[in-house]
Structure 1
Amino acid sequence: MTLITEQGAIEDRFFRADTIEAALSANGPVLVPLALAADFVEAKPGTEFGVSVPGSTPIDEVAPHLGRASLISVEFPAFSDGRGLSLAKKILRQGFSGTLRASGPLIADQFLDAIGCGFTEVELPETMANRQPFQQWMAAKETMTDHYQSGYGPGPSILQKRLAARKGA
């Protein structure tokens, strides 16, 4: 996996654990699936941890962990699935102040959208990182001027522009 921030590629501090046994035996910060988060906190109170959630997760299922987790990783199943962008905005509205990670097969053209929705880093599978290395992500940050998500960025979103054009036609 490749981890990218606005400043460039960084190393991941978190160990991704898919079972409670792996999470409990890890040294250092651990990233656990939402289903394991409560058990992990109970078994290892005070340990730094992150929670991995699918982009389709309702905010009320994530909310109980926002005050304790230092990382929320929103999993994108495909670059065409924007539910994770909406979830990121909801997580921030709930007061989360930790690291917000977009994880999955996103493309460089979505970098500004991800940042605009509150993500502080993007985790790419190696296949995507090989196809679009972090240098392309840095370039896209400077060249992409339109945005899909409403509520951030300068000017109207692409959808708002399309609706206005239809209305004017």
Structure 2
Amino acid sequence: MLLLDRHGPKEDVWERAETLCQAETNFVIAPFGAIAGSPFVHSDIRIGALLEPNRTIDEVAPFFDRFDLIVIHFANAADGRGFSTARQLRQAGFKGILRAFGPLISDQFPQALACGFDEVEIIGAAASRQPVEHWMEALSRISHFYQRDYGANDSIPDQRLARAAHV
């Protein structure tokens, strides 16, 4: 397993559990269904929710105040639903940490960050095939986006509109 943010590799302090009661630390990632159906837990436990691609924002939004982390599962690198889910979560007001989880490839790293992810957890063969250097290099390959970057208004269409306004 490899956990990266825009600055490079980082240590994962979160523990995965099937329910919040099974956790042995105060940083717990559990499936969304297990959390949504459980009573409110002690305030000293930081909760991470694992979302499968079929979850809707309307299902998750009522729980934003309980989650410090949302992990969006990518079943494979070709499944782009997680990018849309991340963007929708940010637009709906989620302020916590967003983590992409699954067999992503380094070329997807810039887009993941642009969609609102804070970090990417790469698993299995994808982590061993592409070292950290590939992931960090991917950030420098793309300098301009057609999509509006989360938190910025410097997409290619925005730049064109700005230039046209000055002509």
**Partners of 2:69 and 2:96 within 8 A in 1:** yes
**Partners of 2:103 and 2:124 within 8 A in 1:** no
Task: Using structure 2 for the length normalisation, give the TM-score.
Answer: 0.83
Residues 3 and 59 of structure 1: is their aligned pair in 2 closer, same or farther, counting only changes over 3 Å?
same
Unaligned runs of 5+ in 2: 158-167
1:45 and 2:24 aligned:
no
Residues 41 and 73 of structure 1: is their aligned pair in 2 closer, same or farther, counting only changes over 3 Å?
farther
Unaligned runs of 5+ in 1: 157-169
**Partners of 1:2 and 1:126 within 8 A in 2:** no
Deviation at 1:126, TM superposition (A): 3.1
- In the other structure, the counterpart of 1:150 is 147
Which letter does structure 1 place at the counterpart of 2:156?
Answer: G
Deviation at 1:61, TM superposition (A): 1.2
Task: Using structure 1 for the length normalisation, give the TM-score.
Answer: 0.82
Residues 29 and 108 of structure 1: is their aligned pair in 2 closer, same or farther, counting only changes over 3 Å?
same
- In the other structure, the counterpart of 1:163 is none
Q: For 1:94, which of 89, 92, 95 is the aligned residue?
A: 92
- In the other structure, the counterpart of 2:110 is 112
**Partners of 2:20 and 2:28 within 8 A in 1:** no
- Please give the alpha-carbon distance, in whole angstroms, between the structure 1 residues aligned to 2:33 and 2:66: 15
How big is each residue's C-alpha offset from its partner over 1:78-123, in whole Å with a ceiling of 9 and x where there is no partner?
A: 1111110000011011111110000001100001100000000000
Deviation at 1:127, TM superposition (A): 1.5
Residues paired across the two proteins, number? 152
- Please give the alpha-carbon distance, in whole angstroms, between the structure 2 residues aligned to 1:41 and 1:151: 38
- In the other structure, the counterpart of 2:101 is 103
Quote the RMSD (CA, aligned, Å): 1.8
- In the other structure, the counterpart of 1:166 is none
| Partner-residue secondary structure (3-state), 1:70 | strand
% identical equivalent positions: 38
**Partners of 1:6 and 1:138 within 8 A in 2:** yes
- In the other structure, the counterpart of 2:7 is 7
